[in-house]
């Protein structure tokens, strides 16, 4: 996914959620000042392998969900999913985070040489300033949802979870699985629920691009398909 392809969808997300692109760009520029280039070829061994994109829903604690992650070749964890899987004895190969819940975990992982994709957006500039300097720069990929600048990349996606899936796709993952996802989590607030709706749409778009069917979308594929047709003009 390149930014030119992603940009119209990004603009639709901003319009729907009431976010300001200028704020995202300011956050991106702060991250660029605190970052060094990250070589995505480090993820070449994900190519054509099964990648589990672990979400942070409570269902990730279930044995059946942990098993999905354990059986994958590569595990990319969104936010606190890294902690849940670690407690279950499942190694994480990459953490994707916007620094809002467990930045200490990201510090620990980069210190052990595990890559962390740290995301800068309009609402988290203080966290970017506080935490990015604590990460080992050799193991930190900084990302943005705005146009990429310098060492800051945009491979698509919006929430931690779908951004992890777009990252896996970008580096050639062969098959994606989705433990720990719940688009209808009753415990999240209204804004988070709307973000989850966008996560579903973005995974539906990724599913189409890959010619794959993600089991996590089975109960909503038809509705997402209609929404995508309207969004993408297809």
> Cα–Cα distance between 46 and 81 in angstroms, integer?
19
Phi, psi of 80 (to 5 degrees): -70, -10
Q: pLDDT tens digits for 46-68?
A: 999 999 999 999 999 999 999 99
Q: Reply yes or no on whether the pLDDT at 108 is more than 90.
A: yes
> Cα–Cα distance between 15 and 182 in angstroms, integer?
24
**How many angstroms from the chain centroid is the CA of residue 68?**
18
The token pair that represents 105 in the structure block: 């975990």
> Cα–Cα distance between 72 and 95 in angstroms, integer?
15
Q: Give the pLDDT of residue 234.
A: 76
Phi, psi of 97 (to 5 degrees): -150, 150
Q: pLDDT tens digits for 117-148?
A: 999 999 999 999 999 999 999 999 999 999 99
Q: Reply yes or no on whether the pLDDT at 191 is more than 90.
A: yes
User: What is the span of the domain harbouring residue 93?
Assistant: 3-184
> How many CA atoms, within 13 angstroms, populate the side-chain half-sphere of residue 93?
21
User: Which residues, 6 or more positions from 155, have their beta carbon under 8 angstroms from its beta carbon?
Assistant: 1, 143, 163, 166, 167, 169, 170
CB 131 within 8 A of CB 116: no
pTM of the model: 0.97
Q: Quick check: is 211 in a domain?
A: no
Structural domains in the chain (count): 1
Q: Reply yes or no on whether the pLDDT at 2 is more than 80.
A: yes
Q: Quick check: is 216 in a domain?
A: no
Average pLDDT of span 86-99? 98
Q: Quick check: is 147 in a domain?
A: yes
Q: Give the pLDDT of residue 233.
A: 86
Q: Quick check: is 168 in a domain?
A: yes
Average pLDDT of span 9-38? 97
CB 165 within 8 A of CB 206: yes
Q: Quick check: is 134 in a domain?
A: yes
Q: Reply yes or no on whether the pLDDT at 29 is more than 80.
A: yes
The three state secondary structure string of 36-92 is CCCCHHHHHHHECCEEEEECCCHHHHCHHHHHHHHHCCEEEEECCHHHHHHHCCCCC
Q: Quick check: is 52 in a domain?
A: yes
Distance, first Cα to last Cα, the chain: 18
Q: Reply yes or no on whether the pLDDT at 180 is more than 80.
A: yes
Q: Give the pLDDT of residue 134.
A: 98
Q: Give the pLDDT of residue 214.
A: 98
Per-residue b or e along 46-73, where b marks 16 or more CB atoms closer than 10 Å to that residue's CB: beeebbbbbbbbeebeeeebbebbbebe
Q: Quick check: is 212 in a domain?
A: no
Q: Quick check: is 228 in a domain?
A: no
């Amino acid at each position: 996914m390149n930014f030119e392809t992603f940009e119209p969808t990004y603009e639709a997300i901003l319009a729907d959620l009431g976010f300001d692109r200028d704020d995202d760009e300011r956050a991106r520029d702060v991250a660029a000042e605190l970052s060094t280039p990250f070589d995505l070829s480090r993820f070449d061994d994900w190519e054509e392998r099964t990648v589990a994109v672990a979400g942070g829903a409570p269902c990730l604690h279930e044995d059946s969900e942990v098993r999905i992650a354990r059986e994958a070749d590569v595990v990319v964890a969104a936010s606190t999913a890294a902690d849940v899987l670690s407690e279950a004895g499942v190694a994480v190969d990459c953490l994707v985070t916007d620094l809002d819940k467990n930045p200490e975990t990201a510090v620990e992982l980069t210190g052990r040489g595990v890559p962390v994709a740290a995301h800068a957006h309009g609402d988290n500039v203080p966290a970017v300033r506080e935490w990015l300097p604590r990460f080992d720069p050799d193991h930190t990929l900084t990302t943005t949802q705005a146009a990429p600048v310098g060492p800051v990349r945009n491979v698509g996606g919006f929430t931690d979870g779908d951004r992890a899936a777009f990252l896996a796709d970008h580096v050639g993952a062969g098959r994606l699985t989705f433990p720990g996802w719940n688009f209808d989590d009753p415990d999240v607030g209204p804004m988070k629920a709307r973000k989850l709706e966008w996560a579903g749409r973005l995974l539906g778009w990724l599913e189409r691009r890959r010619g794959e069917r993600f089991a996590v979308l089975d109960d909503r594929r038809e509705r997402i398909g209609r929404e995508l047709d309207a969004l993408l003009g297809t």
